[in-house]
A and B are shown apart, each in its own frame.
Chain A
């Protein structure tokens, strides 16, 4: 015994749903403090990426493909990641559809395809080390790479500024 109510229950509504269910309370005070590792709690939002409301990021690589991952804010909210289920190379994914799952100690979250296209690569290192997503969400913690069907789909995604506003809501 000696615990309270329930633990954070798994949410199957994606990262956004997770946040609604177990909202990390970031007060004005916590925004300016640092965590136990001395990192600033304010999340990192690189300006060269595009973002979704469900907290995925999308890059445009030199070969025209897009890499996809989850944002710093998302990894922070989920906590230690322990399992990742990725699409297979050769899968066709459609914008807005669930196509992968990331699981932390406390919750499972769907990853929604930010763009439509053919999966051409997956980050195989995540199988043995899902914590790469926590350590480097925009770099070594990428999830998979897609050959885009339609580059116009990128236009509906948010830029860094718009995503930051969403986070602050």
Chain B
């Protein structure tokens, strides 16, 4: 039996096409994925992300534990509500998952991890936590709605009591706060401004319906994928997994590696840095007509590589992709599309954010 989020009936009522997604029956679109994509770039859309896993880390050694568990440094989290994006690595430096950690207070940190990696993540976190004075608690009773787009924050703020709205309006990017039963974070996965809201499952449909009435468009996982691809954001299990490190996945910026902090995977990363990187994860724009897809062979002057994500970009009106190619490859390359070699430009993502094509993308 597929799992359903608390918003399942709301999706059906909105005419969603449902697909099986890592054991969850989730909306892929509500009619047109491309229209939903444009809604988020130009106005506001909302996504049910209740399938994602919320894990609370409680206890006197919560910060100490996360400092060891994560490749980014929770020492950067000093004011309550502050959020940090990080990879969680294995001993070989391979990526177990990517996640966001929120600093609630000194004995309480909240992590949001991917749904497809739920079992693996919980097993790993619980195992590593044994050596620390912490309690690992999953929060399956929380639903999550991501409201994204240039008018998304205004739509949410209008639904809050005035005193809460005044405070929530001041939230800076990558900051969050608790407002009544809603935990509101100014984060997202689309390259647009917006909020991600966690709230009790039984309140999720009421919020969804109020946002719907306010003109926020329901958007499926299809649009979420093209939005995150345009925004230059990796998808776990596709652009990265346990076989690659953050250095090979365009995530070097998320590593806090320079000081003497000890964390899982650090030794392997230092070794890889010392011996020199072979691969880069970068962006491609197809010059010809066609659609880039994951798993296509890429030929560069420096050797061959492969696309990891690829799709039609509704904002660029061209095919775009992420590809793992030899470190020094630049300029242009060719993609093997059903036996035909087509020309691509190698570019540095993001491709599009904040409603428009990014500088240098062609």
A residues whose Cβ falls under 8 Å from a Cβ of B? 1-10, 22-25, 27, 29-30, 33-37, 41, 76, 79-80, 82-83, 85, 101, 103, 105-106, 108, 127, 134
Contact = CB atoms under 8 A, between A and B. Distances in A.
Interface in B2-44: 2, 12-15, 17-22, 24-26, 28-34
Contacts of A25: 2, 18-20, 25
Given A37-B31, A105-B312, A3 B114 contact: yes
Contacts of B338: 101
B20 A23 contact: yes
A80 B189 contact: no
Interface residues of B, number: 62
Contacts of B90: none
Contacts of A106: 28, 33, 222, 225, 311
Given A82-B291, A101-B338, A105-B34, A4 B15 contact: no
Contacts of A35: 15, 17, 30-31
B14 A83 contact: no
Contact of B309 (A2, A7, A134): A7
Interface string B281-299: 0000000011101110000
A7 B238 contact: yes
Contact of B222 (A29, A34, A105, A134): A105
Nearest to A83: B291
B244 interface: no
Contacts of B268: none
Contacts of A101: 338
Given A23-B19, A24-B19, A30-B18, A4 B238 contact: no
A6 B238 contact: yes
A36 B98 contact: no
Contacts of B314: 105
A49 B52 CA distance: 45
Given A1-B236, A24-B17, A33-B13, A10 B312 contact: no
B312 A6 contact: no
A2 B146 contact: yes
Chain A interface mostly helix, strand, loop or mixed?
loop
B228 interface: yes
Contacts of B175: none
A74 B97 CA distance: 35
B84 interface: no
A10 B293 contact: yes
Given A25-B20, A79-B28, A9 B2 contact: no
Contacts of A9: 293-295
A80 B19 contact: no
A11 B295 CA distance: 11
B295 A36 contact: no
Contacts of A76: 17
20 contacts: A1-B98, A2-B146, A3-B189, A3-B224, A5-B115, A6-B238, A6-B294, A8-B28, A10-B294, A24-B18, A24-B28, A25-B19, A33-B13, A34-B15, A36-B14, A79-B32, A80-B32, A105-B33, A106-B28, A134-B32
Nearest to A10: B293
Q: Which 7 A-B pairs have the closest CB atoms?
A: A5-B116, A35-B15, A5-B22, A1-B98, A2-B189, A36-B31, A82-B312
B259 to A, nearest CB: 24
A82 B314 CA distance: 9
Contacts of A3: 114, 189, 221, 224-225, 228, 235-236
Contacts of B24: 4
A28 to B, nearest CB: 11
B221 A4 contact: yes
B237 interface: yes
Given A30-B18, A82-B312, A83-B312, A1 B289 contact: no
Contacts of B135: none
